[in-house]
Amino acid sequence: MSHGKFATAVNCMDGRSQKTVIEWAERNLKVDFVDMITEPGPDGMILRGNPADLESIKRRILISTGKHGSESIILAGHTECAGFPVSKEEHIAAVKKGLEVIREWNIGPNLKYYGLWIGDDWKAELIK
């Protein structure tokens, strides 16, 4: 049983993006904790669709939603990403596509999905 409200973030392993995503989730989703699933360039990783990578991310999301009761999934892309070194526009497209892939996993009926872009100022911007 969880103590507090959780969100789940699929985020880059780059430490510069961690605090930004946590603060965004606390402020905008009113959560107490963020379960952080980190990968190098996770938006690109999901876009590439390697089955083992996707299964690993899905398994960890299921732990967060199942054991901690997370009701929100965040997928973030960021500037200067070493794991997926593409333009802002390509990151935004990958985040949108990545969220579609995660939705197709049918993890839970009441989940909310959020895409974030973290730019040069290291502030999170909601992707519409």
Q: For 70-125, how does the pLDDT look when each residue is reduced to its tens digit (9 = 90+)?
A: 999 999 999 999 999 999 999 999 999 999 999 999 998 899 999 999 999 999 99
Q: How many helices (H) and strands (E) does the chain have?
A: 4, 5
Is 61 contained in some domain?
A: yes
Is 60 exceeded by the pLDDT of residue 1? no
CA angle (124 as vertex; 122, 2 as ends), nearest 5: 115
Domain count, the chain: 1
Q: Residue 110 belongs to what domain range?
A: 6-127
In terms of Cβ atoms closer than 10 Å to its own Cβ (0-12, 13-18, 19+), residue 19 is: exposed
Q: Where are the extended beta strands (E) located within the chain?
A: 6-12, 33-39, 72-78, 112-118, 124-127
Residue 3 confidence class, pLDDT cut points 50, 70, 90: confident
Task: End-to-end CA distance of the chain: give it in Å, rounded.
Answer: 33
- Residue type at 43? D
Give the integer Cα–Cα distance in Å for 60 and 119. Answer: 26
Nearest alpha-carbon partner for 46 in 15, 73, 16, 19: 73
pLDDT at 52: 97
High-pLDDT (> 70) share of the chain, %: 98
Q: Is residue 50 part of a domain?
A: yes
Residue 66 lies in a domain: yes
pLDDT of 11 over the 90 cut: yes
- Does position 2 have pLDDT exceeding 70, yes or no? no
Residue 49 in any domain: the answer is: yes
- The pTM for the full model equals 0.95
- Assess if residue 1 is contained within a domain: no
CATH number (domain holding residue 11): 3.40.1050.10
Could you tell me which of 72, 76, 119, 80 has the C-alpha nearest to residue 98?
Answer: 76
